[in-house]
Each structure stands twice: as C-alpha cells, then as structure tokens.
Amino acid sequence: MTIGQPTASALAACFLFCLATSAASAAERRTFDAKSFAAAQTSGAPVLVDISATWCPTCKAQKPIIDSLAEQPENRDLIIFAVDFDSQKAIVREFRAQSQSALIAFRGKTETGRSVGDTDPSSIAALVKSTLAK
C-alpha cells in the first residue's frame, strides 16, 4: 500500500457512513395500517397517504415524483403510507377516495390537502410542503 491510496476498510467505512446519512435524510415509507397511521397523526408527524394501483399509469407517473420528494432533506420527517386501491377497499372508503392516484396530506390529524390524478411535480411538492409545520 502506498500513501494516498485508501484501504478497503476505509472505503467500506465511507460507504456505510454515506448510506446511513442518506437513509437518515429520507422520508419513511410504510404500508398503511390503522395503528401506525393513528400513531403518526397523534405524534403530529407530516403524513402523505398514497392511494395507488399497480395497473394505473397515473400512479406510475406519480411514483418517481414522490420518490424524489422523499429523498429531499426537508421531507426527512415525512411518513408516506401506501394504500393499495384494489386490496384495501375499506381504507380507500375511509379516506373517501373515489379513485386510485389519490394523494392525501396531513399535518398531525389535520388534512392539509389532497389531489387525484396529479402528475405535476410542483403541485405534488406543494401538497407535501403543506404537511410540514409552519
């Protein structure tokens, strides 16, 4: 080994640090369950409910936008709950969602906004921003 060349263990340590730092700055994703959702609301956490279907082209267009927003440091406290439109019909009804591709934002127990069929990155970002404490 010569001076200036990183060792394998130093490279591995750097990789793990970067991975941990990245994960700490990303929004949390969960499959919807009533207990976790209620706990998130009670804690006052910013929440985005993503009601989607695997066959939905609009939902597929929303996914990379939501993924990008989830990675932004200002959204690190956001909890994204995924609701499957086809297999979680009772939950879809509880949220009064008429169709898939519905995004519903909450700050604690307060709904701050919702959209259906929106694929505009700036308006989805505004919806997510509405969940953040002012």
Backbone angles phi, psi at 105, to 5 degrees: -105, 140
Reported as half-sphere exposure (CB side, CA atoms, 13 A), residue 87 has a value of 9
Q: Which of 5-14, 73-82, 114-123, 124-133 has the lowest mean pLDDT?
A: 5-14
Per-chain mean pLDDT for the chain:
87
**Rounded to two decimals, what is the model's pTM?**
0.80
Distance CA 114, CA 126 (A): 11
Backbone angles phi, psi at 46, to 5 degrees: -75, 135
pLDDT tens by residue, 81-123: 999 999 999 999 999 999 999 999 999 999 999 999 999 999 9
Look up residue 54 and give its amino acid: T
* Domains of the chain in sequence order: 27-129 (3.40.30.10)
Share of the chain above pLDDT 70, in %: 80
Contact 130, 107 (CB under 8 A): yes
